[in-house]
Amino acid sequence: MSDSIYWVGLDVHADKVNAAVLRSDDSAPLEQWELVPDDRGLGRLAKRLKGYPGQVRCVYEAGPCGYELARHLRSREISCEVTAPGLIPKKPGDRVKTDRRDAFKLAHLYRAGELTMVAIPGPEQESLRDLLRAREDAKDDLLRRRHRLSKFLLRHGYRYRDGRAWTLRHWAWLRSIRFELPYAQVALEGYIGAVIEQSDRVKNFDPIIEEAARDPRYARAVAGLAVLRGVAVTAALTILSEVGDLRRFRSAPAFMNATGLVPGEHSSGASRRQGAITKTGNAHLRRVLVEAAWQYRHRPSLGRAIRSRRDGQPPALLTIARHADQRLTRKYLRLVFRGKRSTQATVAVARELAGFIWDIGQNL
C-alpha cells in the first residue's frame, strides 16, 4: 500500500547491522535481516528501503559508530533519526537481549512515538566537536600524568608545601630533587618528561581553537556566550559544538534537561522526593557548565578579562550577563549557608547557568 509507513529499527554495530521493518498496523516484523555496514552493504540497504511502496522512517541508537549511517541514508532521501540510548523505555522484567530483538524494539517504540531523538550534527559541527573533545582528552591525560608524578614523589617522602602545584616555584622544586639510586632518578625524569610532553600537547590545541573562534560561522555566537563569567572561548565553542543551535530547545527547562543537570524525582501522592542529578544528557556539555559555575562562588567583580569580553556586546546580552552575576552568586551562597556542600551548590548553579545560556542563544 502506497500510503503505509514502514518503521525501520536498526541495531548498529561496527561489523554488522540488524534491521527490522514494521508496517503501521502490524504487530510482527514484516522483514528482518542483517548486513555488513560497508559501502556495498549500505548501498544494498538503501536500495532495499527505497523499494517499499510507502514512507520509510529509520532509527538507530546513538553510539560509537557515529552519524555516518544517518547521513548516508539521508543523502539517499531516506528519513533516518538517531535516538538517545539512555532514554529508551525498558521493561523491568525483560531479561532477553539480542540484536534482532533490539532492532524490533526500536522499530516498535519509534512507531509508538516513545523515543527521544538527538540532533544529528553536520560534518563541520562534528569536526569542531572532535577538536574540542581531543583537547579535553589531552587535559585528562595530563591530569593522570601529574598524578603519577606526585604519587611517585609521595612514596619517596617528597611533598610540596610552599604554595600551589604546577607553578614556576613548584617546577623549580621538582627539578631540584635528586635520588641517590640511579633507577629512581631515571623514573623521576621519565615522569617529569611525560608531564612536559603532555602539557605541550594541550598547548598545541589552543591556537587552533582561538582561530576557530574567529571563524565567521562561530565568532558572533562565541562572543555572545563569552559575556557570562566562566564561559571563555573554549567553553563557548564546546557549547556550540555539542549543542548546535540553542533555538531548537523550546524553553530553558528543556535545555537544562538535555544537560542532565536536573535532579531525579520520585513523587507519588502527597510525597515528593528528589535525588541526585539524572546525568541523562551530554556529559561534555555538563562538564563545561559545572566548571564555569565555579566562578559564581565569588561575588561579582568585573576584571579585565570579563570587561574585554563584554565590551561592544548588545545591551540585551549584557543585561542577561549582569542578571546571571547577581542571581547565580546569591544562589551559591544561599545553598552553602543552608549546609549544602560546595559541589552540590555548584551543580545547582550550573543548572541555572544553562538557562542563561539558553536565553543568550535566543538573542544571537
Transcribe 21-63 into DSSP letters.
EEETT-SS-SEEEEE--SHHHHHHHHHHHHTSSSEEEEEEE-S
How confident is the model at residue 287, as a pLDDT? 96
Query: Which residue's entry shows cell 509508538?
Result: 112
Q: What is the mean pLDDT of residues 157-172?
A: 95
Instruction: Answer yes or no: is pLDDT of 225 > 80.
Output: yes
Percent of the chain with pLDDT over 70: 98
Q: What is the mean pLDDT of residues 21-32?
A: 89
Q: Alpha helices, DSSP H only, in the chain?
A: 39-50, 68-75, 99-112, 123-155, 168-176, 182-213, 219-225, 233-243, 252-259, 283-293, 304-310, 315-337, 342-362
Instruction: Answer yes or no: is pLDDT of 4 > 90.
Output: no
In the chain, where does the domain assigned CATH 3.30.420.40 lie?
5-118
Look over the chain and give the mean of its residue pLDDT values, rounded to a whole number: 93
Decide: 101 and 171 in contact? Cβ < 8 Å.
no
Q: What is the mean pLDDT of residues 307-335?
A: 95
The three cell numbers of residue 153 are 614523589
Please state, in angstroms and rounded to a whole number, the distance separating the CA atoms of residues 156 and 5.
69
How confident is the model at residue 1, as a pLDDT? 53
Angstrom CA distances, 67 to 13, 64, 82, 120, 191, stand at: 12, 9, 8, 7, 39
Transcribe 168-223 into DSSP letters.
HHHHHHHHH---SSHHHHHHHHHHHHHHHHHHHHHHHHHHHHHHHHTSTTTHHHHH
Please state, in angstroms and rounded to a whole number, the distance separating the CA atoms of residues 297 and 121.
34
How confident is the model at residue 301, as a pLDDT? 82
Single-letter amino acid code for the residue at 85: P
Instruction: Answer yes or no: is pLDDT of 272 > 90.
Output: no
How confident is the model at residue 159, as a pLDDT? 95
Bridge partners (DSSP) listed for residue 21: 8, 31
Q: What is the mean pLDDT of residues 42-65?
A: 94
How confident is the model at residue 65, as a pLDDT? 93
The helix (run of H) or strand (run of E) holding residue 271 is: strand 271-277
The three cell numbers of residue 49 are 528501503
Question: What CATH architecture applies to the domain 5-118?
Answer: 2-Layer Sandwich (3.30)
Band the pLDDT of 347: cuts 50, 70, 90: very high
333: Cβ contacts below 8 Å, ≥ 6 apart: 297
